């Protein structure tokens, strides 16, 4: 199943998409307005979220595909977003190229312990169709398409798409500038849905396109099988000795990196597709 949070005035509605169509769970259970509501209810009932949703499908109102696309917001509203770094060879190569201390990235790529860092808060995270940000004090900025793991009380409950917006110029000057390169207004986008029935997250086709006006200025495709570490391994390091919040997201690493002569501009449109999850599309603004 794929779960969406849809705009409903100043509130939200929770929708679920199955192989037979999409349904408004809030129309049956007004208490279920967010994914958090569903996960909390399923935890109390000691029932899987998909099983709880399935009980209400016959009575739920149908949701059109058009509305799923037009009204979808951030499907998670996570308390915290964290991220893993240097989990793909292309990411290791890119960060080595940009940095004045390149050996440290190779060390992380080959090390037992992965790089795990804080990425975003709810007020810095945007959903599909909203603007992602590039810093006004940076002159080299890129989107980073990533498979994102959704966790409830530290346990994996599903997967979504994440865009880890990054200033390569700031991080490249000094690795200690990483928080400024990664954490700022509109630094992360997530969506459009949370998929709960993915059997193998390490075998998903992922692609990214960037359009500037009518021109496609970047396109590439890869597969999550190229990720050196498993989602379970990354989650184990994120949750170890850490007071994780009720609902969180962990980005699993950068799988595609534009060439070194490319930087985002205001008005660009970034489109990320991941098999079995959907399409996350955002335009770019300067913050």
Domain count, the chain: 2
pLDDT in tens, 220-229: 999 999 999 9
Q: Are residues 275 and 146 in the same domain?
A: yes
pLDDT in tens, 8-47: 988 899 999 999 999 999 999 999 999 999 999 999 999 9
| CATH assignment of the domain containing 199 | 3.90.850.10
CA-to-CA dists, residue 44 to 26, 107, 155, 213, angstroms: 18, 43, 15, 49
At residue 102, the pLDDT reads 60
Q: Are residues 129 and 30 in the same domain?
A: no
Check the CA dihedral 96-116-206-203 and report its sign: positive
Residue range(s) defining the domain that contains residue 224: 80-286
Q: Are residues 18 and 122 in the same domain?
A: no
Confidence of residue 142 (pLDDT cuts 50, 70, 90): very high
Q: Are residues 127 and 245 in the same domain?
A: yes
pLDDT in tens, 74-86: 999 999 999 998 8
Span 60-87, mean pLDDT? Answer: 95
Q: Are residues 52 and 174 in the same domain?
A: no
Span 268-286, mean pLDDT? Answer: 98
Question: Can you tell me the distance from the alpha carbon of 168 to that of 183, in angstroms, rounded to the nearest whole number?
Answer: 13
Contact 105, 160 (CB under 8 A): no
At residue 3, the pLDDT reads 98
Question: Can you tell me the distance from the alpha carbon of 59 to that of 21, in angstroms, rounded to the nearest whole number?
Answer: 13
Higher pLDDT, 95 or 158: 158
Contact 285, 130 (CB under 8 A): no
Q: Are residues 35 and 136 in the same domain?
A: no
* Relative orientation angle of helices 103-110 and 89-98, to the nearest 10 degrees: 160
pLDDT in tens, 96-137: 565 566 666 667 777 888 999 999 999 999 999 999 999 999
Neighbour count for residue 33 (Cβ, 10 Å) = 18
* Closest to 156 measured CA to CA, from 33, 238, 269: 238
Higher pLDDT, 175 or 243: 243
73: left (phi over 0), alpha (psi -120 to 50) or beta: beta
Who's near 8: CB < 8 A, 6+ residues apart? 26, 33, 71
Q: Are residues 127 and 247 in the same domain?
A: yes
Residue that finishes a domain, picked among 31, 48, 71: 71
């Amino acid at each position: 199943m794929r779960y969406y949070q849809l705009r409903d005035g100043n509130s939200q509605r929770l929708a679920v998409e199955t192989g037979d169509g999409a349904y408004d769970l809030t129309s049956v259970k007004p208490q279920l307005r967010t994914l958090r509501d569903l996960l909390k209810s399923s935890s109390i009932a000691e029932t899987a979220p998909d099983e709880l949703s399935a009980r209400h499908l016959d009575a739920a109102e149908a949701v059109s595909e058009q509305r799923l696309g037009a009204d979808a917001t951030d499907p998670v509203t996570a308390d915290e977003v964290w991220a893993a770094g240097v989990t793909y060879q292309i990411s290791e190569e890119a960060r080595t190229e940009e940095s004045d201390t390149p050996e440290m990235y190779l060390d992380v790529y080959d090390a037992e312990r992965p790089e795990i860092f804080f990425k975003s808060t709810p007020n810095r995270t945007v959903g599909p169709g909203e603007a992602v940000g590039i810093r006004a004090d940076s002159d080299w900025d890129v989107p980073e398409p990533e498979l994102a793991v959704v966790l409830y009380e530290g346990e994996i409950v599903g997967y979504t798409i994440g865009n880890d917006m990054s200033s390569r110029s700031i991080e490249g000057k000094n690795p200690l500038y990483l928080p400024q390169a990664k954490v700022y207004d509109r630094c992360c986008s997530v969506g459009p849905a949370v998929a709960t029935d993915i059997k193998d997250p390490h075998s998903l086709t992922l692609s990214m396109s960037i359009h500037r006006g009518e021109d496609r200025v970047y396109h590439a495709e890869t597969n999550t099988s190229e990720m050196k570490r498993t989602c379970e391994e990354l989650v184990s390091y994120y949750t170890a000795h850490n007071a994780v919040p009720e609902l969180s997201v962990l980005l699993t690493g950068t799988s595609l990196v534009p060439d070194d002569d490319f930087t985002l501009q205001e008005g660009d449109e970034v489109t990320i597709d991941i098999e079995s999850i959907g399409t996350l599309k955002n335009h770019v603004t300067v913050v």
